[in-house]
């Protein structure tokens, strides 16, 4: 398995682990702190270590195809992340000011669109890389 594939699987595993922890907290009646389970996503910060350890014996561990796949997956992920951010912001706005006619919203709500966008960019990038490594035709660009 190539280094970026390992990183992608690791990031997906961390995301699934965070969702499972959140669901467990909700199921045991701790819905109030369930959001904190997404702190597990901080483990994504360990991805560079995984990359460093994946260096092959011949020293080649990332080549132009890896970079092309990473670039394409990042582009898709950024677009998805931006779309998710806008949708969450507008949905919140419609829900609180439209449906509930709220005069104000909690400041804590402001963090939600940010971490949703943050999660989407990592998850979509990871899935995108795995799909692209799966055999889509591409080119070196340069």
Task: Give the nearest distance from C-beta 23 to other proteins in angstroms.
Answer: 36
Smaller CB distance to other proteins: residue 103 or 137? 137
Smaller CB distance to other proteins: residue 38 or 72? 72
Q: By the 8 A CB rule, do 61 and 55 touch?
A: yes
Q: According to the binding rule CB under 8 A, does residue 66 interact with other proteins?
A: yes
Transcribe 84-105 into DSSP letters.
HHHHHHHHHHIIIIIIS--S--
How large is the angle between the packed helices 111-133 and 3-27, nearest 10 degrees?
Answer: 140
Tell how far CA 14 is from the center of its chain. 10
Task: Give the nearest distance from C-beta 139 to other proteins in angstroms.
Answer: 4
| Stretch near other proteins under the rule CB under 8 A, chosen from 7-15, 94-102, 119-127, 130-138 | 130-138
Q: According to the binding rule CB under 8 A, does residue 64 interact with other proteins?
A: yes
| Stretch near other proteins under the rule CB under 8 A, chosen from 20-28, 64-72, 79-87, 106-114 | 64-72
| Distances from the Cα of 22 to the Cα of 17, 31, 32, 123, angstroms | 9, 8, 10, 17
Query: Which residues contact other proteins (rule: CB under 8 A)?
Result: 2, 56, 58, 60-61, 63-66, 135-142
């Amino acid at each position: 398995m190539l280094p970026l594939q390992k990183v992608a699987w690791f990031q997906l595993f961390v995301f699934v682990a965070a969702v499972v922890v959140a669901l467990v907290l909700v199921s045991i009646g701790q819905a109030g702190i369930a959001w904190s389970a997404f702190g597990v996503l901080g483990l994504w910060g360990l991805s560079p270590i995984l990359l460093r350890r994946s260096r092959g014996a011949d020293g080649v561990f990332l080549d132009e195809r890896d970079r092309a796949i990473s670039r394409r997956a990042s582009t898709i992920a950024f677009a998805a992340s931006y779309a998710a951010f806008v949708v969450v912001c507008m949905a919140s706005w419609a829900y609180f000011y439209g449906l509930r006619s709220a005069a104000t919203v909690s400041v804590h709500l402001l963090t939600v669109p940010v971490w949703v966008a943050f999660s989407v960019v990592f998850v979509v990038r990871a899935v995108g890389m795995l799909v692209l490594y799966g055999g889509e035709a591409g080119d070196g660009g340069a």
